[in-house]
Amino acid sequence: MKYKSLPPFAPVLLESMRAIGYDTAAAVADLIDNSITAKATRVRIRFDPGVPRAVAFLDDGHGMDEEELAHSMRHGSRSPNDVRPDDDLGRFGLGLKTASMSQCRRLTVVTRKNGRTHGMMWDLDLVERKGDWIAGVLDPGDIDSVPFVGHLLEEAHGTLVVWEKLDRLAAGDAGDGALLSERIRRVEEHLALVFHRHLTGRPPRLIIEINNYPVQPLDPFLEDEGAMAGPEERILAEGQRVVLRAFTLPHISRLTRAQIEKAGGEAGLRRQQGFYVYRNQRLIVWGTWFRLFRQEELTKLTRVRVDVPNALDHLWSLDIKKSAASPPAVIRDRLRGLVPTMVRPSQTIHAYRGRVTGTDRVRPIWKRIEDRDGVRYEIDCDHPVVAALRLSAEDGHLSEIDNVLRAISASLPVEAIYNDRANERIGLRKEVDDGEAVAAHLEELARQLLSAFSDRPAERERLLSSLGSFEPFALYPGLVEQLQRKLSL
């Protein structure tokens, strides 16, 4: 057998690689991965919104010498099978080039290390003219003309990546930079989520700035805002540990508008339930159950954090863009058994809105009745609030009250409630609750309740002491103690 070398034709292959599928946000995130691997603590993204000619990414990482720079500019500079440090966010040795060229036709990298500055450039138009894998090596005069390079030259070390000839990134822009600015705004939202664990802390491990404005972390689990965290679960695969932890968001009625937006918005709450897979604390894929479980209304508050080491990249089918992954069979089997337990708190919160999770002592006003015809709901006439109303009724009016209660029970708009709940139109909490009005209403209701038992002191005291165990008082535990002290005087 004879053998023949068939190297790819550079212009054709490079143009084809632009279609791998990066969007702008994923491309920028890939560059920031490189900065994190270089131990950067600050990444500055700079562009002139009025002149969409160049976008720059400057980090304060350790930088590169001449040989390291040439290696990083080579396509396929490393094998995906190489053993890498635990905190390395790379894999294929293609990210810098493919991500950048998906957005522009000229990529320039200038880097400083040990007091020396080096620069190289890929220009697709130059490659097309030469018909070969020709990269430009910048001399000092070339470096001085690179956009935004002055910010790098002020630093002792770091790397500057510049995108020019923005044929994809600025496509459709009228020349005023408005479209580019809108795309960068979407990039900011993406970075806030994907790198939220790097951006969190005092001080944070990483600061990302866009034209001097820091990107604020977007925590999808609302850890510091009332979410319930479950226990950690560990799965071993090829001697490596995958760590899972389920979080249950507060019911939507207990979230402010800002918190709802942070959790994905009213429409996104249901779509973004499921697994959130992290690789070295960088979010890879989110809002999916990997077809192990269906997205349901009652489970939409469940989000499961999955931490995967980079040593298992080959098992998780991680793609070049680092925006897709799928668990291997050994992990899928274990996840399938864990999911029902992980979603149970969300199901409980929806079934018992406003009650303390894990207790059955709260008595609802509505009864759920299941029979051969299905499920129906009726007002519980033995509920303390309803019973007090019936006890206080004057002679001849009890049957009228019961008729009204039966009419309300029969008229409950179950289908409309279900549709509104499914479309997130119901249960939203006001940005500022009218606390005084709520407190006044509960006090008046409690006085009515207790007055019905004024001739039975023991029963009155029992009801007062258990006020927080039945609706609607159970929905406002912070006010119950105040009421109990006030009404016991």
Tell me the per-residue pLDDT of 238-275, one tens digit each, with 9 for 90 and over: 889 999 999 998 877 777 888 877 777 766 767 889 99
- Which range (39-53, 85-99, 154-168, 321-335) has the least confidence? 85-99
What are residue 299's phi and psi, to 5 degrees? -110, 10
Note the pLDDT tens digit of each residue in 118-152.
999 999 999 999 999 999 999 999 999 999 999 99
Q: Can you list the domains of the chain with their CATH numbers?
A: 10-214 (3.30.565.10), 228-355 (no CATH), 366-424+431-488 (no CATH)
Q: State how far the alpha carbon of 436 is from the alpha carbons of 128, 441, 443, in Å.
A: 72, 9, 11
Burial of 469 from C-beta contacts in 10 A (0-12 / 13-18 / 19+): middle
**Confidence at residue 396, expressed as pLDDT on a 0 to 100 scale:** 62
Residue 407 or 206, more confident? 206
**Confidence at residue 391, expressed as pLDDT on a 0 to 100 scale:** 74
Contacts of 84 (CB under 8 A, 6+ apart): 90, 91, 310
Is the pLDDT assigned to residue 56 strictly greater than 90?
yes
Strand partners, 23: none
Q: Report residue 90's pLDDT band, with 50, 70 and 90 as the boundaries.
A: very low
- Which range (84-88, 209-213, 267-271, 347-351) has the least confidence? 84-88
DSSP 44-65: EEEE-TTSTTEEEEEE-S----
Highest mean pLDDT among 39-53, 85-99, 181-195: 181-195
Q: State how far the alpha carbon of 417 is from the alpha carbons of 230, 272, 302, 412, in Å.
A: 30, 22, 22, 9
**Confidence at residue 31, expressed as pLDDT on a 0 to 100 scale:** 95
Note the pLDDT tens digit of each residue in 25-49.
999 999 999 999 999 999 999 988 7
**Confidence at residue 94, expressed as pLDDT on a 0 to 100 scale:** 66
Structure tokens at 451: 């007055």
List the alpha helices (DSSP H) in 103-177.
124-130, 140-144, 149-153
Residue 101 or 365, more confident? 101
| The pairing of beta strand 136-137 with beta strand 366-371 | unpaired
**Confidence at residue 26, expressed as pLDDT on a 0 to 100 scale:** 92
**Confidence at residue 126, expressed as pLDDT on a 0 to 100 scale:** 94
Give Cα 440 distance to the centre of its chain: 38
Note the pLDDT tens digit of each residue in 300-339.
889 999 999 888 877 887 766 566 778 888 888 888 888 8
**Confidence at residue 294, expressed as pLDDT on a 0 to 100 scale:** 83
CA–CA separation, 141 and 144 (whole Å): 5
Whether the Cβ atoms of residue 366 and residue 351 lie closer than 8 Å to each other: no
The pLDDT of 278-293, averaged and rounded, is 91
- Ranges assigned E (strand) in 15-137: 42-47, 54-59, 106-113, 116-123, 136-137
| Nearest one of 112, 140, 109, 141 to 122, comparing CA atoms | 109
**Confidence at residue 426, expressed as pLDDT on a 0 to 100 scale:** 58
Is the pLDDT assigned to residue 87 strictly greater than 60?
no
Percent of the chain with pLDDT over 70: 85
Please give the DSSP secondary-structure letter assigned to residue 362. Answer: P
Whether the Cβ atoms of residue 99 and residue 77 lie closer than 8 Å to each other: no
When the pLDDT of each residue in the chain is averaged and rounded to a whole number, the result is 83
Is the pLDDT assigned to residue 431 strictly greater than 50?
no
CA–CA separation, 164 and 149 (whole Å): 13
The pLDDT of 409-427, averaged and rounded, is 70
CA–CA separation, 255 and 95 (whole Å): 38
**Confidence at residue 417, expressed as pLDDT on a 0 to 100 scale:** 76
Whether the predicted model's global pTM rises above the 0.75 cut: no
| Nearest one of 23, 280, 12, 61 to 161, comparing CA atoms | 61
Note the pLDDT tens digit of each residue in 344-387.
888 776 555 434 333 456 788 888 777 666 677 888 887 888 87
The pLDDT of 450-478, averaged and rounded, is 81
